[in-house]
Amino acid sequence: MAGALIGGLLKRGYAPHKISVVEISEESCARIHTQFGVRATTNLQAAVQDSEVLVLAVKPQQLHEVASKLAPLLTSQLLISIAAGIRAVDIARWANSSMVVRAMPNTPALIRSGVTGLYALPAVTEDQKHAAQSILTAVGSTLWLENEAMLDAVTAVSGSGPAYVFYFIEAMQQAARELGFSEADAKSLVLDTFLGATKLAESTDEEVATLRARVTSKNGTTERAIMNMESDHVKQHIVAALHAAHQRSIEMGDELGKAG
């Protein structure tokens, strides 16, 4: 995700010399500099003192250690965390800073087609919120939230969402192969169907239920398929799955926030 953000910012016209990356090894620094042309260093203090915005692109289990190391170095820098599950108030406590924005991007950010939920602590200024949005819109669309608890819902819907879509694609590709298509043709048919359906839904103000009904002719093939899924309560299971993901996001925030 860090690489996606760097690539997106560069595509948006950010100068490479204005982006600094902190890595744990000289080898990693050299690789990042070669790939993106940005500054890369193992010196955390040097990077912090030269920066106005710090993006914490580390694993959730590493965030307590990183934030604690930042605490004595921070002045008025904005912290943007893209680590899943860890609440802004816990990051603020560890880093001894109330200038925290928490972001929940999803993996399509890797191709600059992501969606990111954003929440800012009250102390974050409007200019800082604008800076955070500018960074995250480099990899897709953004949605600001008034309540941090809604980030657990964002995690369940869009953060984990690509996996649900891939799961459905897997199932459709399997069925296509069983119906006689080659691996390549099955993939092409299913992916183009998803792309076309998404574009159609995006191009109209009509509800997706209306679009679905239009395809579902009385006594036709689509109706038979939908009836089969309805009898197996597929929609209810999908809704329940998202609620389960939401609950797990809440649990992760409780568990990971205990540190320090």
Instruction: Please give the chain's pLDDT, 260 residues, in tens.
Output: 889 899 999 998 989 989 999 998 999 999 999 999 999 999 999 889 889 999 999 988 999 999 999 999 999 999 999 998 899 999 999 999 999 999 999 999 989 999 999 999 999 999 999 999 999 999 999 999 999 999 999 999 999 999 999 999 999 999 999 999 999 999 999 999 999 999 999 999 999 999 999 999 999 999 999 999 999 999 999 999 999 999 999 999 999 888 76
The whole-angstrom separation of Cα 128 and Cα 83 is 19
**Does a structural domain hold residue 151?**
no
Domain harbouring 107, CATH code: 3.40.50.720
The whole-angstrom separation of Cα 182 and Cα 54 is 48
Rounded (5°) CA angle 186-190-192: 120
Q: How many domains does the chain have?
A: 2
Q: Are 40 and 23 in contact (CB under 8 A)?
A: yes
* Cα separations in angstroms, 137 against 12, 179, 190: 9, 41, 29
**Does a structural domain hold residue 92?**
yes
**Does a structural domain hold residue 102?**
yes
The whole-angstrom separation of Cα 141 and Cα 133 is 9
Phi, psi of 128 (to 5 degrees): -70, -40
Co-location of 50 and 141 in the same domain: yes
Co-location of 138 and 223 in the same domain: no
pTM: 0.89
**Helix, strand or coil for residue 82?**
coil
Pairing of strands 100-104, 114-120: antiparallel
**Does a structural domain hold residue 257?**
no
The owner of tokens 């540190």 is: 259
The whole-angstrom separation of Cα 107 and Cα 4 is 9
Contacts of 145 (CB under 8 A, 6+ apart): 117, 118, 119, 151, 154
Domain span at residue 209? 161-250
DSSP-assigned letters across all residues of 147-188: STTHHHHHIIIIISHHHHHHHHHHHHHHHHHHTT--HHHHHH
Q: Are 249 and 161 in contact (CB under 8 A)?
A: no
**Does a structural domain hold residue 255?**
no
Co-location of 105 and 137 in the same domain: yes
